[in-house]
Amino acid sequence: MQILILLIQIAVLVAIVLLHVAYVTYFERKIIGHMQVRMGPMLVGWHGLLQPIADGIKSFFKEDIVPEQADKPLFLAAPIICLVAMMVSVAVLPFAKGWALADINIGLLFIFAMSSLASYGIILAGWASNSKFTLLGALRSMAQVISYEISLGLSLVGVMMLSGSLNLTEIVEAQGTSFFGMYIFSQPVAFFVFFVAMLAETNRVPFDLPEAETELVSGYITEYSGMRYAMFFMAEYIGMFVMASIGVVCFLGGWNGPFEVSIFPPIWFILKVYLIMFIFIWIRATIPRYRYDQLMAIGWKLLIPLTLGNIFVTGLVKASIN
């Protein structure tokens, strides 16, 4: 019985997440459209509301082209690895009190592990396509993920030290319900580093080098088409969602809000996540792209020293208070 309930819960979560992804693309296209003096999708449904569904159907029925010289098993597996790794990390997110599918003790570590695993998918895609542009994209992605994973992890060490836990629910509870209890006020440096690393980790502008369209055509997804292309796309947007959720959980007080909405507890969580997503999109509409070596320089020369300093100061303060 318990297993059945769990399965239903999983099915519901997966369905919601997939639908959510579809409408995040709509959200993004509309916002970017209006920022760029155009309308965004307008044709399918009222103000293009059915556009994501049409896109989904289109990519589902498109031919799945596998290049003749590709490493076939890896080529076919890569998008699945990417998508699964990202989907799994959704399981540990606490949407509200008790609303986590798997409230495990090492939630934060689990998410890091999964997002690193997703980069395997990217690297394999780049390698297996047997194309020069995809390989360059994969190399860039590998370098980027490795260097920014470090600063992402280190930036959250401060949060772990303050809350004393890796469990996401406990991190939220440690921040309390007051406005100034949010870790964004006690850990501003960590939040800054986390935010930058989050952009890099999800391959968003200005760190979208692995798929820099004007340089590498489409990076590691150049050779993909149809549903497999859509899988990478979904993985990217779920990644955005997961990273924004961690940001909310660790720095913005999770599901706590100014007042409680008993009908739908996760409302504050979702609003905060969408606030961060909006900033993602806003940045995409505004900022140009970094160069590869500049990206590396920021990661290693700026973010990592900053986080290390932050950990040191946090430790000192915590020790002195105790």
Partner 1 sequence: MSKAMTVDIPVSAGDEDHYRIKMGPQHPATHGVLRVDLDLQGETILECVPHVGYLHRGFEKLAEHRSYVQNLVLTDRLDYIAAMANNVGYCEAVEKLLGIEVPLRARYLRTMVCEMSRISGHLLGLATHALDIGAMTVFLYCFRERETLLELFAELCGARLTPTYTRLGGVRQDVTHSIMMKLERFVNEFPANIEEYETLIDTNRIWLMRTVDVGTLSAEDAVSLSITGPSLRGSGVDYDIRKHFPYAAYDLVDFEVPLGETGDTYARYRCRIEEMHQSNHILRQCIEQMPPGPIIGDDAPDLVMPVKQGRKLEVDAPARQGLIKLIEDRETFMEGDIYVPTEVPKGELGFYFISDGKGSPYRMHIRSPSFIHIGALKTMAKGVMVADLIAIIGTMDVVLGECDR
Closest CB to partner 1 among 73 and 315?
73
Does residue 192 interact with partner 1 by CB under 8 A? Answer: no
Does residue 38 interact with partner 1 by CB under 8 A? Answer: yes
Closest CB to partner 1 among 32 and 49?
32
Does residue 21 interact with partner 1 by CB under 8 A? Answer: no
What angle do the packed helices 168-175 and 132-163 form, to 10 degrees? 50
CB of 49 to partner 1, least distance (A): 23
CA–CA gap between residue 305 and residue 149 (Å, rounded): 14
- Candidates 29-37, 86-94, 225-233, 309-317; binding stretch for partner 1 (CB under 8 A): 29-37
Residue from 294, 301, 308, 309 binding partner 1 (CB under 8 A): 294
Q: Which two tokens stand for residue 138?
A: 């994969």
Report the residue count for the chain. Answer: 322
CA–CA gap between residue 254 and residue 235 (Å, rounded): 23
Amino acid identity at 244: A
Does residue 34 interact with partner 1 by CB under 8 A? Answer: no
Q: What is the CA radius of gyration of the chain?
A: 20
Closest CB to partner 1 among 41 and 107?
41
CB of 34 to partner 1, least distance (A): 11
If we measure between CA atoms, which residue out of 25, 123, 93, 119 comes closest to residue 243?
93
83 and 122 Cβ atoms separated by less than 8 Å: no
Angle at 141 between CA 296 and CA 13, to 5 degrees: 125
Show contacts with partner 1 in window 93-152 (CB under 8 A). 132-133, 136
222 and 137 Cβ atoms separated by less than 8 Å: yes
By CB under 8 A, the count of residues binding partner 1 is: 31
Closest CB to partner 1 among 201 and 211?
211
Residue from 2, 178, 214, 320 binding partner 1 (CB under 8 A): 214
Binding site for partner 1 (CB under 8 A): 32, 35-38, 68-69, 132-133, 136, 205-206, 208-209, 212-217, 284-294
